[in-house]
Chain A
Amino acid sequence: MAKSQAVRSRKRPRRWLRATLAVGLWTSLLGALFVTGYLMYLDRTIIETFEGRRWSVPAVVYAQPLELFPGAAISLDDMVQELERVGYRQTADARTPGTFKRRGNSLAIYARAFRFMERNRSSQLLELRFADNRISKIVNHAGQPIPLVRLDPPTIGSFFPSHGEDRIVLTPEQVPTLLTDSLKAVEDKNFDHHAGFDVAGILRAVWVNLTSGELRQGGSTLTQQLVKSYYLDNRRTFERKLRELAMSVILDARFDKQDLLNAYVNEIFLGQDGGRAIHGFGLGAQFYFNKPLGELAAHEIATLLAVIRGPSYYNPYRHPERVLQRRDRVLGILLQDGIIDATTFTISTTAPLGIVEGDRRGGAYYPAYMDLVRSNLAEQYDDAMLASQGLRVFATLVPRTQEAVAVGIQDALGRIEKSRQLEPNTLQAAVVVTNTQTGEVLALAGGRHSGVDGYNRALNANRPTGSLLKPVVYLTAIESGYHLASVIDDAPISLRMSDTDTWSPQNFDLEVHGPVPLVRALGDSLNLATVRLGLQLGVDNVASRLQSLTGHAPANQYPSLLLGAESMTPLEVSALYGTFASGGFYMPPKAVIAVLNEAGVPVTHHTFTLSQRIEPATAAALNRALEVVMRTGTGRTSRFSKSGVAGKTGTSDDYRDSWYAGFDDTRLSVIWVGRDNNEPAGLTGAAGALQVWDSIMAQLQVVPLTHLPVDNLYEVEYQTGLLARAGCADVVIVPIPDDAVLQAKTGCGITTQLSRRIRAWLRND
């Protein structure tokens, strides 16, 4: 009996052991499978992300480069502003690209290399000489005169994707060794040797933090930081940490150190600019210093390194003192590790922070204009392409014009609100400026406050155009046999619209003016005369003429269309007046000149697209009338009324919308002023929008309109349309067709014309 019991007890422990082993083995096997599977999943995820981000470069958009040539109308001071706009620094001698030096009446400039649309331009030394607020001569480094040279254009925006990350991707060659050496020294001393994580680094960090009493060092390697950056997640759970660790090891095993370092340089988060997250040192350099990374000095690189640790905590704009302290500590590490020498250390630690302020910040930002760029590109490029393929977009914007617009709006609206005792900061505005002959959009303001990415009134605010549509009526009239001295009756008119509704328009001055020449009816914006004229022509004819000019099909087919009871956006109005200012050619609003791929190969090119819609002579006649508007009519309060400009003021019903469209020889501007809530601002076109135009043009240079020589200009009395001469009446100059019959004003001594007319009169029998 005792023997079997002993045998049983010996067997039980072995079975239990075997069972445990079996369970253990199976568990480990399953566990290993699970872990392997999970690692494979991590592997695939991190590789995809890494490769994807590496090649994911948002399209960058450039403004028009400044063309410099002898005779160019730019003063030395303005030139300095343009240089500073693209981040050039004034130095003792211009010895490296991106610097300039003032020397009396001249500027020595070391122009940067730049890949323009059609060629790569290498960096070059230039000397610009100035006289009378113009460039008088340009010479190269050998002292030879050169006729033309371009400044590298500013970047005005990029198409960062919907998750908001913006970056400039740099190749390893574009990254200064100072930066990579410093990165390793400050963040990950053992980068070149570890396998993705660094125990020694962690221990060192713990020690430093303990002894210094503050969080001075992170224990993460660059690889770990890179992984963390890919999956921005603030939950610092153990599970997260483990994942990052695994992924770092995988990355480190799969890619070489150079690739990882470069990825880090292009990826690390360096700050937030509204909705735009600044990623990578390339964009960081541009954002904080408005310079390419290659031009940063040691103290500026140290600042960027300081920011890595926490771009909000170490925000140079909000906490400059804190950042300065950390920067200097970084410089100390660099000195200690022999990356910089003592002299550099001293210079760097005494240098100010040096980050750029205001308009120069972040390479300047024009969200309203970028809306138009996006719209132009939408046909051929989708968001994904724009966000990732490194395309280079050359746009039509002229920053100097854009700035004049932004300042002009603020100045004028502020002044208007003050002088009329309106509530401050409540008026809104939209402005579009185009080249009169090419239709390229030089500037675009979507609202009163530029740089704000919000409602774009220039593109999207549909507002009644009021008197701004009148020129279409007069154009139709000229094409139907009228001329500018033809007489029409400014007399009361009442139209029965329905059984109960009568339309009885009034003039703005509530007066009746009787028989008036066309030029005056347009010049003084007389409603009664215009309606009568329009009815004679046929409202549907005017409506279809409007449509034929720009494709805008008027929703309103009633007589009130003649007085502008039709809504259009400022951009549409710009296209309409563009057909006048160009001498008869419709040009679709254009913001993009060309798109090149990352290699510099052109993908699309948009040349000047025109479509002739008005006979040149007719357009010239209409433009003469618009000049009269400025010299003598409703635009005469402009400070440029006698400067050889043309334009039209517009006011809508109840003074809700104040419009102005006007042009000199080179620029057409369309301006709307009003309120977003559609409450009347109480401003006529002249009192509102025209004031904004004056403020804008005062900062630019007005060039009087060029007139082609014609044989048929006559002086006629503005009030009556009678032939007259300057000495004996208030006259305007208008073209009159040869077969027209005109009467002369008595007392001006005009007879030869009369006899010629009589002969014509006889001939007509």
Chain B
Amino acid sequence: MASKRLTLTLLVLSLSACATTSYEPVVHEPGPSESESVPDVVISDTSSATLALLEDSRTAGALGDHQAAINYLERAIRIKPRDPELWIRLAEQQVHSGNLEVAIQQARKAIALSGKRVDWQRAAWLVIADAEEARGRLEAADAIRRKWRTIKG
């Protein structure tokens, strides 16, 4: 410990002469405008289409036609593959249809796509809880629900 402190002191002394600039981790994401001569790059706007499909799937789901709801959501995902909400709704419909393994994996996919969005993460985890409950794994389901009751966001 003492030798470390000595090294440290020496280090600090030798460096004190240098200009100190704060260094933060990079939040550097080159946006499309910054990219150098990017050929044929586009960002697509897909919201209205997927919203319509989401609506259709909600209606179908409410009417108990879960396969139709699944069809609509799959179409939506093909248009917007990285939208966590679509995967969450799809997972929900899988639970209603009794495809529990699939539901859990699709919910995990939603979680992986959620980044820092705690609201999406929660929604996905609660679907997993429903699937676990349907599978008879009641403690697992409880544990998930308990945990997410306390998380803010």
CB distance from B83 to the nearest CB of A (A): 10
Interface residues of B in 27-47 (CB under 8 A from A): 27-30, 32, 35-47
| Residue from A69, A71, A610 in contact with B105 in the complex, judged by beta carbons closer than 8 Å | A610
Nearest-CB residue, chain B, relative to A70: B48
Query: With A148-B49, A702-B41 in contact, is A751–B21 under 8 Å at CB?
Result: yes
Nearest-CB residue, chain B, relative to A620: B112
B67 touches A608 (CB 8 A): no
Q: Looking at chain A, what size class is its interface with the partner chain?
A: 35 or more
B28 touches A703 (CB 8 A): no
Query: With A583-B112, A608-B77, A708-B115 in contact, is A73–B19 under 8 Å at CB?
Result: no
| Residue from A64, A602, A611, A709 in contact with B67 in the complex, judged by beta carbons closer than 8 Å | A602
CB distance from A690 to the nearest CB of B (A): 15
A610 touches B48 (CB 8 A): no
The verdict on A713 contacting chain B, using a C-beta distance below 8 Å, is yes
Please name all residues of chain A whose beta carbon is closer than 8 Å to the beta carbon of B81 when the two chains form the complex.
435-438, 666
Query: With A703-B42, A749-B18 in contact, is A69–B79 under 8 Å at CB?
Result: yes
Q: Determine the distance from Cα of A69 to Cα of B53 in the docked complex, in whole angstroms.
A: 11
Nearest-CB residue, chain B, relative to A665: B82
Mark B108-135 against chain A: 1 for CB-CB distance below 8 A, else 0: 1101110110000000000000000000
Q: Determine the distance from Cα of A117 to Cα of B74 in the docked complex, in whole angstroms.
A: 12
| Residue from A611, A616, A752 in contact with B20 in the complex, judged by beta carbons closer than 8 Å | A752
Q: Determine the distance from Cα of A322 to Cα of B41 in the docked complex, in whole angstroms.
A: 50
The verdict on A607 contacting chain B, using a C-beta distance below 8 Å, is yes
Please name all residues of chain B whose beta carbon is closer than 8 Å to the beta carbon of A697 when the two chains form the complex.
40
A643 touches B105 (CB 8 A): no
A707 touches B79 (CB 8 A): no
The verdict on A230 contacting chain B, using a C-beta distance below 8 Å, is no
Mark A627-670 against chain B: 1 for CB-CB distance below 8 A, else 0: 00000000000011011100000000000000000000110000
B74 touches A608 (CB 8 A): yes
Please name all residues of chain B whose beta carbon is closer than 8 Å to the beta carbon of A584 when the two chains form the complex.
112
Query: With A709-B116, A713-B25, A751-B15 in contact, is A608–B90 under 8 Å at CB?
Result: yes
Please name all residues of chain B whose beta carbon is closer than 8 Å to the beta carbon of A723 when the two chains form the complex.
23
A701 touches B42 (CB 8 A): yes
Please name all residues of chain B whose beta carbon is closer than 8 Å to the beta carbon of A765 when the two chains form the complex.
1, 4
Query: With A605-B70, A639-B39, A713-B27 in contact, is A751–B18 under 8 Å at CB?
Result: yes
| Residue from B41, B77, B79 in contact with A643 in the complex, judged by beta carbons closer than 8 Å | B41
B25 touches A712 (CB 8 A): yes
Q: Determine the distance from Cα of A704 to Cα of B6 in the docked complex, in whole angstroms.
A: 49
The verdict on A273 contacting chain B, using a C-beta distance below 8 Å, is no
The verdict on A733 contacting chain B, using a C-beta distance below 8 Å, is yes
Interface residues of B in 50-81 (CB under 8 A from A): 51-53, 67-68, 70-72, 74-75, 77-79, 81
A698 touches B40 (CB 8 A): yes
Please name all residues of chain A whose beta carbon is closer than 8 Å to the beta carbon of B108 when the two chains form the complex.
585, 610, 612
A704 touches B35 (CB 8 A): yes
Please name all residues of chain A whose beta carbon is closer than 8 Å to the beta carbon of B22 when the two chains form the complex.
752
Query: With A437-B77, A713-B25, A749-B21 in contact, is A71–B112 under 8 Å at CB?
Result: no
The verdict on B8 contacting chain A, using a C-beta distance below 8 Å, is yes
Please name all residues of chain A whose beta carbon is closer than 8 Å to the beta carbon of B68 when the two chains form the complex.
118
Most chain A CB within a 10 A radius of its CB, from B82, B99, B109: B109
CB distance from B100 to the nearest CB of A (A): 13
Nearest-CB residue, chain B, relative to A118: B71
Query: With A67-B79, A762-B4 in contact, is A643–B38 under 8 Å at CB?
Result: yes
B25 touches A714 (CB 8 A): yes
The verdict on A454 contacting chain B, using a C-beta distance below 8 Å, is no
Q: Determine the distance from Cα of A707 to Cα of B52 in the docked complex, in whole angstroms.
A: 26
Please name all residues of chain B whose beta carbon is closer than 8 Å to the beta carbon of A188 when the two chains form the complex.
none
CB distance from A437 to the nearest CB of B (A): 4
Please name all residues of chain B whose beta carbon is closer than 8 Å to the beta carbon of A40 when the two chains form the complex.
none
Nearest-CB residue, chain B, relative to A735: B25
Please name all residues of chain B whose beta carbon is closer than 8 Å to the beta carbon of A665 when the two chains form the complex.
82
Please name all residues of chain B whose beta carbon is closer than 8 Å to the beta carbon of A762 when the two chains form the complex.
4, 8
Please name all residues of chain A whose beta carbon is closer than 8 Å to the beta carbon of B40 when the two chains form the complex.
697-698, 700-702
Please name all residues of chain B whose beta carbon is closer than 8 Å to the beta carbon of A71 when the two chains form the complex.
44-49
CB distance from A727 to the nearest CB of B (A): 12
The verdict on A203 contacting chain B, using a C-beta distance below 8 Å, is no
Q: Determine the distance from Cα of A217 to Cα of B103 in the docked complex, in whole angstroms.
A: 65
Mark A68-101 against chain B: 1 for CB-CB distance below 8 A, else 0: 0111110000000000000000000000000000
The verdict on A351 contacting chain B, using a C-beta distance below 8 Å, is no
The verdict on A717 contacting chain B, using a C-beta distance below 8 Å, is no
The verdict on A711 contacting chain B, using a C-beta distance below 8 Å, is yes
Q: Determine the distance from Cα of A585 to Cα of B112 in the docked complex, in whole angstroms.
A: 10
Please name all residues of chain A whose beta carbon is closer than 8 Å to the beta carbon of B53 when the two chains form the complex.
148
The verdict on A715 contacting chain B, using a C-beta distance below 8 Å, is yes
Please name all residues of chain B whose beta carbon is closer than 8 Å to the beta carbon of A639 when the two chains form the complex.
39
B21 touches A147 (CB 8 A): no
Q: Determine the distance from Cα of A54 to Cα of B6 in the docked complex, in whole angstroms.
A: 95
Please name all residues of chain A whose beta carbon is closer than 8 Å to the beta carbon of B23 when the two chains form the complex.
723, 750-753
A147 touches B94 (CB 8 A): no
Please name all residues of chain A whose beta carbon is closer than 8 Å to the beta carbon of B39 when the two chains form the complex.
639-640, 643, 698, 702
CB distance from A646 to the nearest CB of B (A): 14
CB distance from A745 to the nearest CB of B (A): 12
Interface residues of B in 77-111 (CB under 8 A from A): 77-79, 81-82, 90, 94, 99, 102, 105-106, 108-109, 111
Q: Determine the distance from Cα of A335 to Cα of B126 in the docked complex, in whole angstroms.
A: 72
CB distance from B40 to the nearest CB of A (A): 5
Please name all residues of chain A whose beta carbon is closer than 8 Å to the beta carbon of B143 when the two chains form the complex.
none
The verdict on A22 contacting chain B, using a C-beta distance below 8 Å, is no
Q: Determine the distance from Cα of A642 to Cα of B40 in the docked complex, in whole angstroms.
A: 12
Please name all residues of chain B whose beta carbon is closer than 8 Å to the beta carbon of A69 when the two chains form the complex.
46, 48-49, 79
B21 touches A752 (CB 8 A): yes
The verdict on B26 contacting chain A, using a C-beta distance below 8 Å, is yes
Please name all residues of chain A whose beta carbon is closer than 8 Å to the beta carbon of B29 when the two chains form the complex.
707
Please name all residues of chain A whose beta carbon is closer than 8 Å to the beta carbon of B70 when the two chains form the complex.
605, 607
Please name all residues of chain B whose beta carbon is closer than 8 Å to the beta carbon of A644 when the two chains form the complex.
30, 35, 38, 41
A67 touches B35 (CB 8 A): no
Please name all residues of chain B whose beta carbon is closer than 8 Å to the beta carbon of A708 when the two chains form the complex.
113, 115-116
Q: Determine the distance from Cα of A385 to Cα of B36 in the docked complex, in whole angstroms.
A: 54
Nearest-CB residue, chain B, relative to A610: B105
Residues of B at the A interface (CB closer than 8 Å) are: 1, 4, 8, 11, 15, 18-30, 32, 35-49, 51-53, 67-68, 70-72, 74-75, 77-79, 81-82, 90, 94, 99, 102, 105-106, 108-109, 111-113, 115-116
A-B CB contact pairs (8 Å), 19 listed: A71-B46, A72-B44, A72-B49, A117-B71, A118-B67, A148-B49, A148-B53, A583-B112, A608-B74, A608-B77, A642-B36, A665-B82, A701-B40, A701-B41, A708-B116, A710-B115, A723-B23, A753-B23, A765-B1
Contacts A72-B49, A437-B77, A709-B116 known; 15 new A-B pairs at CB < 8 A: A117-B71, A148-B52, A436-B81, A437-B82, A609-B105, A612-B105, A642-B36, A642-B38, A702-B38, A704-B41, A708-B115, A733-B26, A750-B21, A751-B21, A753-B23
- The 6 A-B pairs at the shortest CB distance, nearest first, are namely A71-B45, A69-B49, A437-B81, A708-B115, A147-B52, A147-B48
